[in-house]
Amino acid sequence: GENVEQHPSTLSVQEGDSAVIKCTYSDSASNYFPWYKQELGKRPQLIIDIRSNVGEKKDQRIAVTLNKTAKHFSLHITETQPEDSAVYFCAACRVLTGGGNKLTFGTGTQLKVEL
Amino acid sequence: DADVTQTPRNRITKTGKRIMLECSQTKGHDRMYWYRQDPGLGLRLIYYSFDVKDINKGEISDGYSVSRQAQAKFSLSLESAIPNQTALYFCATSAKGQGAFQPQHFGDGTRLSIL
């Protein structure tokens, strides 16, 4: 089955700096890579995703890059703000016959943005 | 999204008890999923369902069962709870999509403690 590794497990940055979280996956059939943000005590929420036929996607201060050959993908947050503090999860997704999808999550990165 | 509702939100129970966690949704989605979240392990898939009466095992289904008797409801049962099932449980839903990734939307979670 799919295996997703995520690093680092904790990340502390100063407000205004950039943060980068990296993930690797094992199943070459995975074709969709979402990122979820989970604030303390709340549900995971999708913040950005990328398909396997795209190398980079950007949405305001967040961007995701994908290297399909190396099976790496990364989340980049620029100009970090205190409200970016949360746990971030990467996931690899394989679309299943019948149209559903099966997500395998990384183990999460606790991001802390310090003032 | 308040339209994926989990009950109860918190539950404390004893080893050996039978427990049912409920998930209901008003999003009209066909696909429903149950995950458990443990510190340092991310979210792991327990069971998923593509339609009423359709049940599929995830990566950690042992000790759990599910029921999908209506499109809007997906229940998770622990037949005889044990302490290592103490975790935060999330229900998620996604729309039907042929060959395309459909984002999964999570409920607020159920925090389950087994003594």
pLDDT in tens, B52-104: 989 999 999 999 999 998 999 999 999 999 999 999 999 999 987 665 678 88
Sign of CA dihedral B91, B17, B115, A104: negative
Give all strands of the β-sheet with B73-78 in edge-to-edge order: B4-7, B19-25, B73-78, B65-70
Bridge-based pairing of strands A10-14 and A109-114 is parallel
Q: Find chain B residues with C-beta within 8 A of A51's C-beta.
A: 101
- If one compares A65 and B99, the residue with the highest pLDDT of the two is A65
B82/chain A closest Cα distance in angstroms: 23
Sheet order of strands, A72-77 included: A4-7, A19-25, A72-77, A62-67, A56-59
Buried b (16+ CB within 10 A) or exposed e, B51-87: eeeeebebeebeebebbbeeebebbbebeebeeebbb
The predicted model gives B36-49 an average pLDDT of 92
Which one is predicted more confidently, B11 or A96? B11
Q: Compute the distance between CA of residue A109 and CA of residue A63 in angstroms, rounded to an integer.
A: 16
- Percentage helix, strand, coil for chain B under 3-state DSSP, each rounded to 5: 5, 50, 45
Query: In the prediction, which pLDDT does A98 show?
Result: 61
Q: Give pLDDT, residue B49.
A: 93
Q: How confident is the model at residue A33 (pLDDT cuts 50, 70, 90)?
A: very high
Inform me whether the pLDDT recorded for A51 exceeds 70: yes
Contact B42 A108 (CB under 8 A): yes
Distance from CA of A11 to the nearest CA of B (A): 14
The percentage of residues in chain B with a pLDDT greater than 70, rounded to a whole number, is 95
Residue-level pLDDT at B105: 92
- Chain B residue numbers with beta carbons less than 8 Å from the beta carbon of A99 are 31, 50, 96-100, 102
Q: Can you say how many angstroms the Cα of residue A43 is from the centroid of all Cα atoms in its chain?
A: 15
Percent residues over pLDDT 70 in chain A: 96
Provide the pLDDT for residue A74. Answer: 98
* Shortest distance, CA B99 to any CA of chain A (angstroms): 6
